[in-house]
A and B are shown apart, each in its own frame.
Chain A
Amino acid sequence: MSLENILSNAQRGQRELGAEKKVGWDEVTQGVVINAFEYDATNVSRELSEDRKYSDFSSYTATVASWRIIKPIYNRDICIDCQNCWVWCPDTSIISRDKQMLGIDYDHCKGCGVCVEVCPTNPKSLLMFAETADGEECLAGWPVKEKKAKETETE
């Protein structure tokens, strides 16, 4: 699958959370149980999420992008692929393959900023911007490396 498909595949986030078909009390699932797949999923753990076919009631197929007011922007040129953001993201919204950071799942990212907080590079490889900000402009104005106070003194 191409990088573009992984970052935004057709399955993921195809509807607003809450836009699913509403049914009456007599049709809801017993015990509020949600089946993630409608087929025999015995080997699904060996498939990548973009290759799986999630059920309509799985949150994978829903988007909560509208909940977000600030968003992380990712700068590939600075990232060292340390995977810190992937480990810490509370919504598994950092997309990484073979230990290489690819981008952000904007269908499920809530804009909490944890990824920026844990990013160890200087300058950071992820920064928060307004939800409406243009990605290209954000990258163009990316901050430069901050010099340590000590180095400044010796100069």
Chain B
Amino acid sequence: MAEKIELQKVEVWDGNYAASHALRQAQVDVVAAYPITPSTPIVENYGQFVADGYIDGEFVMVESEHAAMSGCVGAAASGGRVATATSSQGFALMVEVLYQASGMRLPIVLNVVNRALASPLNVRGDHSDMYLGRDSGWIQMDAFNAQEAYDMNLCAFRVGEHMDIRLPVMVHQDGFITSHTAQNVNPLSDEEAYKFVGVYNPVEEMLDFSRPVTYGAQTEEDWHYEHKARQHKALMDARPVIESVFAEFQKVSGRQYKRVETYMTEDAEVIIVALGTTVESARVAAKQLREEEGIKAGVVAPRVLRPFPFDAIRDALQNCKAIGAMDRSSPGGALGMLFNEVSAAMYTTSARPVMSNYIYGLGGRDLSINAIKDIYRELQENATAGEITTPVQQFISLRGPKLSFFETRRS
């Protein structure tokens, strides 16, 4: 039996250390990993905990991230609770196996410490890797700080392992800003955490020799579509399960999470939709602008990016006048993902807020509170005019001539 750790009521942890303590408390059986900046300490700490007797588990060092996720798939299919961590290029190399994991309905937990994708090579935080994973069939949860990185990891096991769901879960946090910034974290005690996460119940495990199973079968046009449809249904059905897990987590932790987090949106006229640490910056900017300039600013943030909270986004943004969707990923010849998905959600309601798209923070470029305030001021102008007064897509905090695309055709 693994030894326990007496945690303080408040610990000073960075996002990586917080995530690794959650993996320890979940008593993960196998971590197969190929460490990469900035996620390295998560799996490194797991290995240390195993070596020191705090986890009854196994750290498997492999030769690439493709092999890391393959090892996770094998261990999960065998019947173990499995987790790993990666970032950026490592995530990109994992992509093929991510689809295998979700198709095989294996509830692996993957910590993705968000980092830009090369080229040019860059180790800093942006959301390119998180966006790359969004069609992979995984549940994606986003933590905005170290506390949430810890909390989301504990919740991730409960959600993914739920018998109605059985899907892998990514827990995202921003590279360096969350992963390497020490913050106050209120952990659960080991007893509380064990109790919350619970014992792992395998399904169709390969180590059950009384029931030999085939994983990774081939299906062509006669079966593939039905299997993918069932998988999508499970992902969509995860929404109420996530809500019930969050409700249970609130009972043990006192911290409340929702699929879509809202801040000062009750009477907000202008709202920023964002992910990651930007959410916390936007909250500061919104509060200050309300006090300083009387702008009715609010913040909406998908806590769960997949399944996309189409329903909760519509509720959260129903009454505002202008929305700035902020995408921290190079959009690759399109409008940003948040802009597209939020716009689509709003277009299925009678509300017609003015939508605009901001690209920012690529490769870890800092986003200041002042820059966010400028966005709110533009959104306020849009709200007053009832149409987009700027180009639809703008790159902000970028050197050189203004880079923007498309003019509105609303008026």
CB within 8 Å of B: which residues of A? 18, 22-26, 28, 30-37, 40-42, 44
A26 to B226, CA, bound (A): 8
Asked if B1 lies at the interface with its beta carbon under 8 angstroms from chain A, I say no
CB <8 Å contact, B214 and A33: yes
CB <8 Å contact, B212 and A35: yes
Q: How far is the CB of A45 from chain B (nearest CB, A)?
A: 8
The 6 closest A-B pairs by CB, nearest first: A31-B105, A25-B229, A34-B214, A25-B226, A42-B210, A31-B104
CB <8 Å contact, B213 and A34: yes
Chain B 164-223 residues near chain A, CB threshold 8 A: 166, 203-204, 209-217, 219, 222-223
Q: Which residue in chain B gives the minimum CB-CB distance to A44?
A: B212
12 contacts between A and B (CB under 8 A): A25-B229, A26-B230, A28-B226, A28-B227, A28-B230, A30-B234, A35-B212, A35-B213, A35-B214, A40-B210, A40-B211, A41-B212
Instruction: Please tell me the size bucket of the interface on B.
Output: 20 to 34
Main secondary structure on B side of the interface with A: loop
Main secondary structure on A side of the interface with B: loop
Q: Which of B209, B216, B227 contacts A41 (CB 8 A)?
A: B209
CB <8 Å contact, A37 and B204: no
Known: A22-B222, A23-B226, A25-B226. A31 touches B210 (CB 8 A): no
CB within 8 Å of A: which residues of B? 103-106, 166, 203-204, 209-217, 219, 222-223, 225-227, 229-230, 233-234
Q: How far is the CB of B222 from chain A (nearest CB, A)?
A: 6
CB <8 Å contact, A30 and B230: yes
Residues in chain B near residue A36, CB distance under 8 A: 212-214
CB <8 Å contact, B215 and A33: yes
CB <8 Å contact, B209 and A30: no
Q: Which residue in chain B gives the minimum CB-CB distance to A22?
A: B222
A76 to B206, CA, bound (A): 39
CB <8 Å contact, B217 and A34: yes
A35 to B215, CA, bound (A): 9
A32 to B166, CA, bound (A): 13
Residues in chain B near residue A42, CB distance under 8 A: 209-210
* Given A30-B234, A34-B217, A36-B213: 4 more A-B contacts, CB < 8 Å: A25-B229, A30-B105, A35-B212, A37-B212
Known: A24-B226, A25-B233, A26-B230. A32 touches B219 (CB 8 A): yes
Q: How far is the CB of A33 from chain B (nearest CB, A)?
A: 5
Residues in chain B near residue A32, CB distance under 8 A: 103-104, 215-217, 219, 227
Residues in chain B near residue A44, CB distance under 8 A: 212
Residues in chain A near residue B234, CB distance under 8 A: 30
CB <8 Å contact, B103 and A31: yes
A26 to B103, CA, bound (A): 15
Residues in chain A near residue B209, CB distance under 8 A: 41-42
Q: Which of A18, A25, A37 contacts B222 (CB 8 A)?
A: A18
Q: How far is the CB of A130 from chain B (nearest CB, A)?
A: 27
A49 to B73, CA, bound (A): 28
